[in-house]
Structure 1
């Protein structure tokens, strides 16, 4: 028994454990290689909200068209919108100076008829939630506006009627109450009434005095629907860095146009303007404005609405983070629409419809 006990408790011979084969530990699995995001992948998640499309005026002059099959006489049709990753469009109204209110009403009627004709592709949207809902159901959201300020006939009652019919943005310039000298008292009341209704105040083409006064008067974010950087191109609708910085400080939005006259003849010129506006106003204050079907020549590579993926690819190559591109394409337009709606709800608690006259 003692011999057995001694055998069980005998110490291991020197070196006995070292002679055991080493236990092989498997190497850790390799870290996943990040897959670079592509322009089309990004646009599938964050489609373009295009800030200015002139399709209503173009369609008004055509005897026949088919936007579903593809229409060679226009720059914006459903196949190209789908190929471009476009999720929302602001359809601008063009009015006859001799009959501004009548032609504005006629174009709103046209927009409603076109959207009703293509229910599988288009959906009218009057709010940020409706644009998001249209996108969720695979439709392109159509937001009516901007319209020239002359469409109001210098009447706040007409402004309210146009809003009730779906108008969501108004350009101040070109009116008697938004001149080179700035906003008149009636012009300031127009801005306040637009805030109360939830309409976007468009400063495109406004004089510096008007822009400064409108920024001070508006409680909601303002927009520039088709303006580039004047530091890169001296077009009258483009804006200087001081105004870009002020728009950014007010959480507004500058929508850079795809226009040879405003931004330059090549896709990289549009990207240069986007870089500049992003740097001066901030990534939350830059967006896109195709200006398709307006008669303006477009840069090479952006001849129609299907060119957006190439532009987004250029920005990604320049080092734009995905988060900033997502703001550029979709997020910033949604934010200013929601900002206008929030301001309207607050303003309607404080005041009723204005009875001011010119």
Structure 2
């Protein structure tokens, strides 16, 4: 068991930080094998707080076996006996950076059997992870340490009965909502995406994948057209997230429709959310520079045409032209989806235009 202390007021390294570092270095293994489960702790004169019996060892091994089984189900939900909706939310969580939430998810699944409570918990975790990713830049993680340590403390409190499953879920939901209520939280996100665009954002694949799932839901079909392992696979000279208006836009189709814009404005349009498209099959990057009609129909290779791709590609294929206005309008629709899906309030159309980096457009 890991214990978290209080932060010192004298500027010294806090107990929280020490425990957090130890956990990530794997010192818990040394604690178990060198300090807890040792021959000297089985003797009569062992310190009372460290004394162990065969029953203690058996209980620990049994608990470990149960945890291993649950851990496997967590990471392979579709190979488990979990209900379908729990499988769905675990699958989503597994596509996000989850390292410090894993012990909490494990503990929740082991201690809480209500399907309704499990789903509410997993939804709250997924929302918090996404919003953390939304607020995360390429150079660091802006959240204070206590937000990371918090999940470990919740796991402990749930395990020892200090908190109920419902209170754990409420704590996570309230914590996430408290971030969003801060006056500068959303504003800082808007400003950062305005200056950096969406293409380099760590969460772009997760967001595009979820947006594609929403379009699939609207189509009222169960047939998936894009698969996460293939979508996230890295292959030289191939792309799985495409700039519809391409990086090398030398064809007359592009120069005529994006004329009058500065180089900086063109670069901003390229990396704006509405210009980024998930591909059901990785495409040779050279094909990304083709004019829009060729991209839609796949003149050279029909297999990579938008018309024959995933739901997001099919949606873009409905457009007659691809222009700055088309990029803006699609970006607005995608931010509207973000607001609905993760219960975030970005703001009015003007705020969204700023977040898309397109406030230079009239």
TM-score, normalised to structure 1's length? 0.19
Higher relative contact order (CA 8 A, sep 6+): 1
Query: Which protein has the bigger helix share?
Result: 2
Q: Which has the larger radius of gyration?
A: 1
Q: TM-score, normalised by structure 2?
A: 0.18
Task: Judging by fraction of residues, say which structure has more strand.
Answer: 1
